[in-house]
Copies of this chain bind each other. A is one copy, B any other.
Amino acid sequence: MTDVIIAGIGQTEVGEHWDIGLRDLAFAAIQDAVKDSGGLKPQALFVGNMLAPNLSNQAHLGALIADYAGLTGIEAITVEAAGASGGAALRQGYLAVASGMVDVALVIGVEKMTDKIGPSVDAALSTASDSDFEAVQGMTPAAQAALLMKRYMHEYQVPSDGFAGFALTAHANGVNNPYAMFRKAIKLETYTKAEMVSDPLNMFDAAPNADGAAAVILTRRELLPKDFLHPLVKIAGSASAADTLALHDRKDMLYFEAAQMSAGKAMKQAGIILDQINFFEYHDMFNIYAALELESVGFAIRGQGWKLAADNQIGLKGRIPSATMGGLKARGFPGGATGVYQAVEAATQLRGQAGTNQIAGAKVGLIQSLGGPASTAVSHILQRLD
């Protein structure tokens, strides 16, 4: 099979975009991605979005965005898998191009959470959970993550500031990402004094809801423009897996089966082992997710994921650099757009364009997009070709 190349990347600053709508956000990212690709013309559009039907009264984003971007006539759909929508859209774009059925695919993640016209954002985010058995009881994603975190801390005797390392690393990396929502480093005491969201989960254990759009253009290697400027980054592995939707249906809540399965399949497809992965963009919507992803994928043994962060092994010069551009915590969490931001950031690293945050010699990155507590996990291995 021919290589599928990430030929173009684009993103808007993540933040509160009260002044512009979904279509404008999307278009800004698309323009940048098309330009970055050297002018490739998309034939298919895959939109990752979770919340627009609830928060903006707008479904049918495929047609909306294709139309606004001057791309009527192409095929266009929305792909939804809660918080993993962006990763899932990337996978559908990858499949379309890898199969040879589409030559150039545009994958965009877009979300608008802060300037909404629908129900509360918490209610909308809770549609990711089991509505009949979880959300209806008032269990928001944050409340659920707090329960997971509490159980984890109890099982593994984690101190009260045990998760601080995740927030410190993310915010340190966000400083140098011009697209990040927060670009200010924090100190340990910022974490330890932070307001509680849902005990023991505090403000710095949760990623901020945000607006944003990110786009990638995919094509097969032989279809790249002759004057293509960037080092080549390919999607070497792609996989997705579903676990139980409700947390109470799992035998073991502290292991993300779907994270393990999808990462394992993606690595197998890529012919990559764990030691060859130079960085990991996890889905740190909550620090507890990051800890469990590190363990489920295999970067830490069970109960030790938090220590990787506490020991600064997830920093840019650590054993497994993570959240290298700020992660969900500091770059911000624009819902279903998140997985596409991860792809843009990983491509930036692999091209060697990550500036101050550049991981020296990065060749292989793993990105993982979660829906709920890994009820869906989508993993991609991105690899630099030299």
Contacts and interface: CB of A to CB of B under 8 A. Distances in A.
Interface of A: 21, 45, 50-51, 53-54, 56-64, 66-67, 71-82, 88, 91-92, 95-96, 98-101, 123-124, 126-132, 135-136, 239-246, 249, 257-258, 261-262, 371-372, 375-376
Contact of A73 (B100, B123, B241): B241
A72 B243 CA distance: 5
Nearest to A130: B64
B127 A62 contact: no
Contacts of A249: 67
Nearest to A117: B131
Contacts of A92: 77, 92
B78 A80 contact: yes
Contacts of A99: 95, 98-101
Contacts of A101: 95, 98-99
B131 A75 contact: no
27 contacts: A21-B132, A45-B242, A54-B54, A57-B136, A59-B127, A60-B81, A60-B127, A60-B375, A60-B376, A61-B80, A63-B376, A67-B243, A67-B245, A67-B249, A71-B242, A72-B243, A72-B257, A73-B241, A73-B243, A74-B242, A76-B240, A77-B81, A77-B88, A78-B80, A79-B80, A92-B92, A99-B100
Instruction: Enumerate the 5 nearest inter-chain pairs by beta-carbon distance, A residue then B residue, closest first.
Output: A99-B99, A75-B240, A59-B127, A60-B82, A58-B131
B123 A75 contact: no
Nearest to A79: B77
Contact of A128 (B59, B71, B262): B59
Q: Which of A91, A92, A131 has the most CB of B within 10 A?
A: A131
B59 A244 contact: no
A242 B126 contact: no
A244 B65 CA distance: 9
Report how many copies the assembly holds: 2
Nearest to A58: B131
A2 to B, nearest CB: 12
B58 A127 contact: yes
A241 B79 contact: no
Contacts of A51: 53
A174 B258 CA distance: 43
A54 B54 CA distance: 6
Contacts of A59: 50, 80, 82, 127-128
A79 B77 CA distance: 7
A72 B242 CA distance: 5
A45 B261 CA distance: 16
Contacts of A60: 80-82, 127-129, 245, 371-372, 375-376
B57 A131 contact: yes
A97 to B, nearest CB: 10
A174 to B, nearest CB: 28
Contacts of A257: 72-73
A236 B113 CA distance: 41
Q: Which of A51, A64, A246, A257 has the most CB of B within 10 A?
A: A64
A200 to B, nearest CB: 26
Given A62-B242, A78-B80, 4 more contacts: A60-B372, A60-B375, A63-B375, A77-B88
A63 B81 contact: yes
Contacts of A98: 99, 101
A243 B100 CA distance: 24
Contacts of A239: 75
Nearest to A127: B59
Contacts of A262: 75
